[in-house]
Structure 1
Amino acid sequence: MSYQSDQHYKNIDFTVERFPIIEYENCTFEQCKFSDLDLRGSSFENCLFKNCDLSNVKVPDVSFRQAKFVSCKILGVHFHAGNPFLLEFIFQDCQMAYSSFYNLKIKKSKFINCKLTESDFTRTDLAEADFQGSDLSGATFDQSILEKSDFRNAYNFTIDPELNRIKGARFDLDGLPGLLGKYAIKIG
């Protein structure tokens, strides 16, 4: 497989220009458009995506190792189809509605100030993950490992403590309704 390192791609519409399916290391993609592309077989190690549109990209067998996404639009991406080996993410200020992380082991991943509406975290190992400031409206947490995860300032989430492992997870008082909602308890 071909290899590219230490490159900066800016203002490229890969839906018009061909996107090479190769290994990328220490590369930056800034204001690039990937929407609806099939990235099958690509590898991104220590890469930064900034202000990119990755909506509906297909990621079967794609490797993301220490991939960072900042202010990106990432709608409907099924990350669970990617290569799970050494998978590591950082998402910051991203629009990520309808994305799926089903059954992935993504410990210590960061989802800071992201909009994760209707995203699927079923059976996902999110131990020590950080969701601070994120909107989790309609996100699914079912049989998920959330131990030592940080949900402070996260909002609109519903997490059933009986169906998920939450020991040591951090929540602020405003998050109590998201943990206790099924009990129909009145708080405050």
Structure 2
Amino acid sequence: MNLPLIDSQNFNHQDYTKNRLPKAEYSYCSFTNCNFEHSDISNTIFLECEFHDCNFSNANLKHVTFNDVIFTSCKLVGVNFKDCNDFLMAFSFKDCNLSLSSFSEMTINKTLFSSCNMHQVDFSFTEAKSCQFIKCDLKKALFDNTNLEQSDLSTAFNFDIDPSSNHLKSALFSKDNLFGLLRTFNIKVK
């Protein structure tokens, strides 16, 4: 599919719930205070784009390409990232709300999550090697057969990760958050 190219444009205060984002390849674009909630942005390509203060909650991301994309202070509640195009997928999240979203059965190696609210995020059967979860709230996040090798969870909190059903080789934890690894075994630490 040949999409029109939109390069180096700034989009501010757009409501894509009413006027659909045109299907295109967006390169080096910036989106600020845009509303994509419940909107259909399927089959769109974003290359080296930035999203600031945008709402993607429950958006349809079927076959969307995110390559080197930065989300800052965005609301991405209930987003199924598994629907995205995984070819050259690369993104990072800073100060975002990703609650109830899913990265299940994906490869998201080296992804940065910084100061994100990630309540009930599904990471089951996900390859998440060398990811950084910096100051992230992982309350009730699902880790089942997740590969977290060499990932940094040293400042993450409220997580429950069963070491017997996940891959944690060389993952980094702090002594302050070890309880999240032991809770499954009903071990108490004082």
Scaled to the shorter chain, the TM-score interval is over 0.9
Query: How many angstroms apart in 1 are the aligned matches of 2:36 and 2:188?
Result: 45
Query: How many angstroms apart in 2 are the aligned matches of 1:179 and 1:4?
Result: 46
- The answer to whether the aligner puts 1:142 opposite 2:132 as a matched pair is no
Give CA-to-partner distance per residue, 1:111-168, whole Å, 9 cap, x none.
1100010110011111000001000001001111100101121111011111111111
Q: Secondary structure at the match of 2:88?
A: coil
Find the counterpart in structure 2 of residue 155 from structure 1. Answer: 157
Quick one: which amino acid aligns to residue 187 of structure 1? V
User: How do 1:1-188 and structure 2 match up within 5 A?
Assistant: 1-188=3-190
Quote the offset at 1:183 in angstroms. Answer: 1.3
Query: How many angstroms apart in 2 are the aligned matches of 1:38 and 1:106?
Result: 23
Q: Secondary structure at the match of 2:181?
A: helix
Q: How many residues align?
A: 188
Query: How many angstroms apart in 1 are the aligned matches of 2:20 and 2:65?
Result: 19
The TM-score, its normalising length taken from structure 2, stands at 0.97
Quick one: which amino acid aligns to residue 36 of structure 1? H
User: Runs of 4+ in structure 1 displaced over 3 angstroms?
Assistant: none
Quote the offset at 1:17 in angstroms. Answer: 2.4
Give CA-to-partner distance per residue, 1:64-98, whole Å, 9 cap, x none.
11111000011000000110111111000001110
- In structure 2, the gaps of 5 or more residues are none
Query: How many angstroms apart in 2 are the aligned matches of 1:167 and 1:22?
Result: 41
8 A contact 2:105–2:125 mirrored in 1? yes
Over the matched positions of the two proteins, sequence identity in percent amounts to 38
- Counting strand residues as a fraction of each chain, which structure ranks higher? 2
Q: Secondary structure at the match of 1:86?
A: strand
Q: CA RMSD in A?
A: 0.8
- In structure 1, the gaps of 5 or more residues are none
8 A contact 2:20–2:40 mirrored in 1? no
Quick one: which amino acid aligns to residue 43 of structure 2? G
8 A contact 2:74–2:96 mirrored in 1? yes
